[in-house]
Structures are given as structure tokens and as C-alpha cells.
Amino acid sequence: MGKRYHCDYCDKTMVATPTIVKTHNRGMVHQKLVQEHYQQFKDPETILAEESKKKPCSRFATGTCQFGSICRFSHYTQEQLKAFQDYVAFKNKPQDVTFPSFEDLFHKFMVGKTSKPNDSDNGNTLIYDGNGVTHTLPWTYNSEYEVYGDDLPPSIKKMKLEDFAKAKIVEWG
């Protein structure tokens, strides 16, 4: 039967001769479908740059434009183009970022080093043993899991100092 060519854009199959494929790829229906496919991946900046150069399509306004996305006139209304302009302007607007001074950062760092754990920490990362020695855990514990009690799997249970005291480590690795 011969080799067949399948066009993914048009969802058509044809004989795979160079002249037939070339004629198909030059056709208006194929070009329209290819353009519509790639139109969905364009960012608003590109759409705005392309469509603002075009004049409005008079046939599209009446609903009779047969060219679709390959029309050399714009199929966007002035309101849609204005919305694109507003979006692009908002997206490209520089964000006001204020950086704290070095003195503020140093003060915050020093206060954080010398203070005991506060209420927001909830003891999630610090453990105090019977001798008054502070141990810092390398993870934080989510306090929302406390409602489940002992029904949690061992991997997400809150560790206590007693859990480490009973541990028998025979082999490492």
C-alpha cells in the first residue's frame, strides 16, 4: 500500500509523496491549524506585540472571517488588547523591596542567639534533658500531628529524649 504520512495538526493521513505533503503543508487549513496550535503557547507580551501592529478585522466582527489565526488583521477587541497591556505593565512593574539595614540584621541575629525558645517555636527543634543540656534537632516538627497521638507511623512521630535513651545501636551503616 505504500508509506503514509499523518499530519498531527490536521489529524489527516495521506500518501507520503513529497509533492502531496508539500501541497498539504502549504494549504490554508493546515497553516490555520498550525498557527492556532502555537498560539496557545505564546506569552501575553508576544501576543500584545504582534496584535497591536495589526488593524482590526472587519470580517471577524461580523463573524465571517474564514482565515482564523492566519488572518493578517487582528481578531482581538480593543478591550482585550487593553487588558493585555495592563497585565504586561503589572507584570513588568518593579516591585518595591526594602532591605533591612546591617544593624537591624545584626541585632535580630544576636537576640535570636541569646534568647530561650519562644512560644512560636513550641519546642519543635529543641530538647532539654534532665541535666539542663540543650539538644537541637536538625528538623522541625509539625504540631498539627499531635491530634493523632500515638497512631502516627514512626517516621513522623515527635521524638522524645527517652526514645534515644532506649536505642541500642549494634551496627552502623
CB 48 within 8 A of CB 88: yes
Hey, how many other C-beta atoms are within 10 angstroms of the C-beta on 143?
11
User: How far is 64 from 56, CA to CA, in rounded Å?
Assistant: 14
Mean pLDDT for each consecutive 10-residue tract of the chain (173 residues)? 88 93 93 89 87 89 84 88 88 77 77 52 60 70 78 77 71 70
> Could you tell me where the beta strands, DSSP code E, fall in 34-170?
126-128, 134-136
Q: What is the pLDDT of residue 23?
A: 95
Hey, how many other C-beta atoms are within 10 angstroms of the C-beta on 160?
9
Q: What is the pLDDT of residue 151?
A: 81
Q: What is the pTM of this model?
A: 0.45
Sign of CA dihedral 130, 132, 137, 140: positive
